[in-house]
Amino acid sequence: MSTKRKKRDSRAALVILIVVTILLIIIVGGYTTVKSTFDPKYQDLIKKYSSEYGLDEAFVTSVIWTESRFDPEAESHANAEGLIQLMPETAKWVAGKIGLDADEIDAKDPETNIRLGCWYLHYLSNEFDDVRDTVAAAYNAGHNTVDKWLADSAYSSDGKTLDAIPYPETEQYVKKINIAYKVYTTLYSF
């Protein structure tokens, strides 16, 4: 089977998975359950910084939902913090890039966290030609790791998109982002 056909079949399977997931959630729990499960919070801040950094607001909302379910106190096992789950080193690096004192930032403060996270997503979007799945993979696995995958024909046929993701965690992460994105673009207007 050709790489293009595999990629097309994989995308078709993902779309079917997303639609079936949404339908099951609606059938089992109803529209209200879907809305409450994915209820977006901090939309004023997400809108502000998505706009400032030229990002799709639904994508940023999807990243935050996937990372923390909108819990500003969230901490990962790897020490990522806040709504958009920034690693402390990344938060300090981004703070320096946007003119904030890296030693004075509070990565759990919703506005600071969303601002830093949006700048970083903007950086990744520029790095990976705004290919949403590649940006999401880089957010999860690291941009250096994704650079290596894109350079490997086993994972990318064109050097811009990922035909396969070798880390199961990252593959699942990208799927979760896509499910959330479909919900946000279907049920909400940004």
The residues carrying an active-site annotation are 67
CA-nearest of 87, 95, 134 to 115 is 95
The residue to which tokens 């639609």 are assigned: 19
For 183, counting Cβ atoms within 10 Å of its Cβ (0-12 exposed, 13-18 middle, 19+ buried), the class is buried
Determine the residue type at 165: I
* Of 113, 139, 142, the residue nearest 59 (C-alpha): 139
